[in-house]
Structure 1
Amino acid sequence: MIPMVNLKAQYAEIKDEIEQGLAETIDRCSFILGPNVQAFEQEAADYLGVKHAIGCASGTDALHLALLAEGIGPGDEVITSAFTFIATAEAIKYVGAKPVFVDIDPATFNITAENIELAITPRTKAVMPVHLFGQPADLGAIKALCDKHGLKLIEDCAQSFGARIGGRQTGSIGNAAGFSFFPSKNLGAFGDGGLVTTNSDATAAMVKKLRNHGSDVRYYHDVIGFNSRLDEMQAVVLRTKLKRIDQYNQARRHAAHLYSDLMADLPLTTPYEDGVGEHVYHQYTLLCERRDDVIKALQDKQVGCAIYYPVPLHQQNVFKDECKGVALPVTESVAANCFSLPICSHLSDDHVEEIVSVIRETLS
């Protein structure tokens, strides 16, 4: 069996270091916003090249808190992608704003400045590009557009920890950004976790307040906040893995490039790297008209595979009323033909070759 993500192999390499850190945390009995959370926030900020990194309970919460801290609320519109996990749009709805979905680039699967500009209205207050599958969106063009129209730029970096664009890390360019540490991410915890990044002192202060019941000082509350703190035990895991994130990402890129080289002659479309940003392959996602045949063949051989995402957000039941009449042809075509292969920091060349041989046999 070849899983989508081999977390057991990754854990085996860092087991002793993690278990020592967890044991020290338990012995210290400091579990909430303790020294490991504080250290991780500083280490993550240093790595990402931002002034502030604030831990929270999940990637969804990170986007939610970032939007609130940037003043997005009822009556506002936020332009984003329909080809993403629902958390992107959920966070927008949580603050009372309306997600406005625009179509994606057929090669990168990310929203573009051109499509964003067509959707701007007097109610537009922010743009939330998703660095989908680890491929950075074209933030140079998107940020210039946001600056031109006075819009907030909130990056959804749930899948792009360590990805760079123009020499800068994703999450360091917009007004704020949200990261996810779901276990399968490039930087994954042993449960849920998230991070908000910003270079704004005011935004950081508000996120810290919001994540902790609206409080700066214990038992004194200035706003209605949330219980959304990064767990101290998860911070131990994340600190251990953060030291190795470049190594993990390079291993993913190696596996992805090997896949693409071995499948260059097959009737499918391998992931595209635009050269503007460095793709870190949270997912290795292909397009193939015979997707169902390939998936069945892989499943028969006990090879992990998945469809991210089979139903675009504008076609989901929860959005069907407000998105009535919305047509996003590229998004819909990609969703109908995409599927993802195993990709992780511990995927061997032999396994890549084995997976490709199954696909080649199916498509021949």
Structure 2
Amino acid sequence: MRSAAPRLPAALLTVVAALLTLLAAGLARPAPAAAHDATTTAYVEVTGTGTAVRAELDLEYDLLMKSAWLYEEAYGAKDRAEQLRQLKANAQAVNAYVTGRFALAHASAACTPRPAGDARVHTRGSRPFAVLTLAYDCPGGAGGSYTVSSALFPDAESFVHSTETIVHYDLDGQRGSQVLTAAEPTLTTGGHHQSRQIADFFLLGMEHLLFGLDHILFLLSLLIGARGLRDVLLAATAFTAAHSVTFLLAAMGVVTVPAAVVEPVIAASIAVMACAGIFLRDREGTGRWRLPVVFLFGLVHGLGFAGALGIDESWSWELLLSLLSFNVGIEAVQLGVIAVVFPLLVLVRRTPAHRWVLPALTAPIVVVSLYWFWDRVTAVPS
């Protein structure tokens, strides 16, 4: 009588099914960080002293044009020259929308906004963003606190949900950063806001990794290809060290690499690590090349992390606090994923089912990452 082969526990089958569902979701859209029909982030720099204040707003182009209730020829424009023409032709509607949803006050009295120069367009990740500059005339003289409020792209408009506005300010010598949301749409300068700043950017880092499917898939590829706990710890350390270095350098403007280069390489790195994890995992000498490759790809992923903050300001301790908090948030989620997934993979490897489970997990990772690579390489620059 032949003994029955051990069966994969139902809990593990459930995990495998959940991971496959997550991977399949990637085929429906390039990646959460690149999708623009779910959520968005607005970036704002506010600077000035006394009565003269300027705000530079960096807003996703098509959402801005839709929110200003313009026609498809405006929000659907793909060519940069046409986008600039549409912004100029519809400047009144665009400015009315922005000034109606973004406000500045000084000493509790509203500041009066006016356009300051023509709008610009640039690419952030794979999406076009419009850069609008507003000059504010504020009442009173020097001193006193400023209040910044944002209600840009609210859920009620139905184009997006859960919009976050990352505000960096330097007003009357007071510097800081804060993430504004629908629940907490206002910041006030003055006082000590370090704890709020740390919490905001820690959560922002967690969200960026947790909902950044490309980074999650790279991490899963590392775990699938690991031969033991030591392998996982070394790979995770190499990846963390590498992306932390380039993240800090890129966010502070020391290193600049176009997103058109970074995004395709990130997609390719996932496919390379996923294939290596299946085909080269048990080959002699794999450990010699694995860590250098992980470190190299980590450098590229760090550049991708930096793009999420939209920081364009000079060095300051406030800037470093934001960057470190964001990076620690990334690491917290990374450790959480490792703590949950790696023990499950160890259990899977102890059953005969690992011969089909691991390739079944790897195949969708490769397909999705290659699709992202093709999509990002062939994207028409705007």
TM-score, length of structure 2 as denominator length: 0.24
TM-score (norm 1): 0.25
